[in-house]
Amino acid sequence: MLLRRLLLSVVLLSLSTPLWAKKVDLDYRVRFLPETEQAEVSLTLEDGARVISLAFNLGDQGVYSDFKADGQWTQDSPALGVWQPAKGKAKLTYLVRINHERAPGRFDARITKDWALLRGDDLVPAVKLRQEDHTVLVSRLQFDLPKGWKSVETGWQRVGKNKFRIDNPQRKFDRPTGWIVAGKVGTRRAKLGETDVAIAAPVGEGMRRMDVLTLLTFIWPHAQDVFPRDPAKLLIVGAGDPMWRGGLSAANSYYMHSDRPLVSENGTSSLVHELVHVFSRIRARDRSDWITEGLAEYYAIELMRRAGGLSEERYQKIREQLIRWSKPVQSLRTDNSSGPVTARAVLLLQELDREIRQATKGTTQPRSLDDVTRGLMRLDKASTKDFIEISENVMGGASEVLDNKLLR
């Protein structure tokens, strides 16, 4: 036991920040400008000499403009901007256009005179960082709200009034990813397991905060049984038309249109579907989006069933609907899983779960699809080949269910 503890200590020390690393403050500041449907964003480095350059992927839609920098700013193309900070305290400031239509007349980012709802990923675009060795950036996010705006919520831990600590060990450059809602906002909070949960939405947008919190409380223990990691914080945001009529997950957070039912007539739940995305963080590669979306929908049904929210009769009716909906599907292999493809993936996953349970029944370690899911969570991105290998390893042999033309 003592040896195990010593080995664990060595591993943890190797993963933590080296004692000789130079910590450099990186402060983000956001000022919303409702009158122009923009936000002013600034990045301030405490010691610009430690950062060689920051290359920003600005996209091709002209969302970012009016760059002002301490040091050198170069933009050889509209899609790429490079900041070489000045020595000492260095600051970069620019404007971001907030409103964005995901489909005609449907927004996945919007600002009004009373509130803003968007993802932090859009405020600070993806960055390629070059820095001096043994440099660690310590990131914080501060908001300056317009007059009359009451509060702001993000998926990150609050460290002061309208101020948050951005800490993502998986990233070399911590930027404020995930959903943000600010303005005249109503919020319900609870502690579920080890997670601080907040359901926040602009006042008057029809978000049923207590209903959402009640369903989450009902589901949460069963989600914890499947997924071994709890987010430190979870933010759920929403609003009504003309926002996107669906669900969208992001880092430590997700969005739901306020008119969407918590449990639909077909027995599934967009709320639980997006929760699975946040918990699992399973991403796909090599035309295998059926894994990501199929598992999210599988557990949207399965967690409701385990929690006692679905009778066996209702569960079988859901299966019948999935069979009808997915009948035309010839292959699951795609970069973007459609509704019928996802439905067929759920049926395959249900069949695989039964096969694994039957194959390991009566052994010292009975297994299920939950074990496959936990294996996938260890991967950066999962392919169909990865999925088959992990499943057959869990089952202890070849799978008849996965020997299927749908996966070729």
- One-character DSSP codes across 129-141: EEE-TTEEEEEEE
pLDDT bin (cut points 50, 70, 90) of residue 359 is very high
pLDDT of 46 reads: 97
Percent of the chain with pLDDT over 70: 95
pLDDT of 96 reads: 98
**pTM of the full predicted structure?**
0.89
How far is residue 194's CA from residue 230's CA, in Å, rounded to a whole number?
Answer: 7
Long-range contacts of 221-225 (CB under 8 A, 24+ apart): 221/193, 221/307, 222/303, 222/306, 222/307, 223/275, 223/276, 223/279, 223/299, 223/303, 224/193, 225/306, 225/370
Query: Residue range 368-392: average pLDDT?
Result: 97
pLDDT of 264 reads: 85
Give the max Cα distance, the chain. Answer: 68
Give the tokens for residue 96.
């971001």
pLDDT bin (cut points 50, 70, 90) of residue 321 is very high
Check pLDDT > 70 for residue 161.
Answer: yes
Q: What are the tens digits of pLDDT across the range 124-149?
A: 999 999 999 999 999 999 999 999 99
How far is residue 401's CA from residue 40's CA, in Å, rounded to a whole number?
Answer: 53
DSSP-derived secondary structure letter, 193 = T
The 10 Å Cβ neighbour count of residue 33 is 15
Average pLDDT in the chain:
93
How far is residue 87's CA from residue 405's CA, in Å, rounded to a whole number?
Answer: 59
pLDDT bin (cut points 50, 70, 90) of residue 1 is very low
Q: What's at 25, amino acid-wise?
A: D
How far is residue 235's CA from residue 10's CA, in Å, rounded to a whole number?
Answer: 34
How far is residue 360's CA from residue 322's CA, in Å, rounded to a whole number?
Answer: 27
CA distances from 364 to 103, 165, 359, 360, 367 (A): 52, 44, 12, 8, 10
CB 383 within 8 A of CB 285: yes
Q: What's at 376, amino acid-wise?
A: L
Give the tokens for residue 229.
């990691």
- Of 123, 59, 111, give the one whose Cα is nearest residue 243: 111
Q: What are the tens digits of pLDDT across the range 186-218?
A: 999 999 999 999 999 999 999 999 999 999 999
Q: What are the tens digits of pLDDT across the range 7-62?
A: 444 444 444 445 567 999 999 999 999 999 999 999 999 999 999 999 999 999 99
Percent of the chain with pLDDT over 90: 88
Strands 163-166 and 179-183: unpaired
Q: What are the tens digits of pLDDT across the range 96-118?
A: 999 999 999 999 999 999 999 99
Strands 233-239 and 253-257: parallel
pLDDT of 12 reads: 44
Query: Residue range 309-317: average pLDDT?
Result: 92
How far is residue 334's CA from residue 122's CA, in Å, rounded to a whole number?
Answer: 26
At 394, which helix (H) or strand (E)? Answer: helix 384-395
Q: What are the tens digits of pLDDT across the range 245-297?
A: 988 989 899 999 999 999 887 778 999 999 999 999 999 999 999 999 999 99
How far is residue 251's CA from residue 234's CA, in Å, rounded to a whole number?
Answer: 9
Give the tokens for residue 223.
């989600």
pLDDT of 251 reads: 86
Residue 111's SS3 state is strand
Q: Phi/psi at 310 (nearest 5 deg)?
A: -130, 125
Put residue 65 in one of left, alpha, beta given phi > 0 → left and psi -120 to 50 → alpha. beta
How far is residue 207's CA from residue 309's CA, in Å, rounded to a whole number?
Answer: 22
How far is residue 103's CA from residue 118's CA, in Å, rounded to a whole number?
Answer: 15
Start-end of H helices in 209-311:
209-226, 270-280, 289-306
- 78 preceded by a cis bond (ω within 30 of 0): no
Q: Phi/psi at 307 (nearest 5 deg)?
A: -80, -5
CB 198 within 8 A of CB 208: no
Give the tokens for residue 360.
């390991």
pLDDT of 19 reads: 57
pLDDT of 18 reads: 56
The 10 Å Cβ neighbour count of residue 140 is 20
Query: Residue range 299-320: average pLDDT?
Result: 94
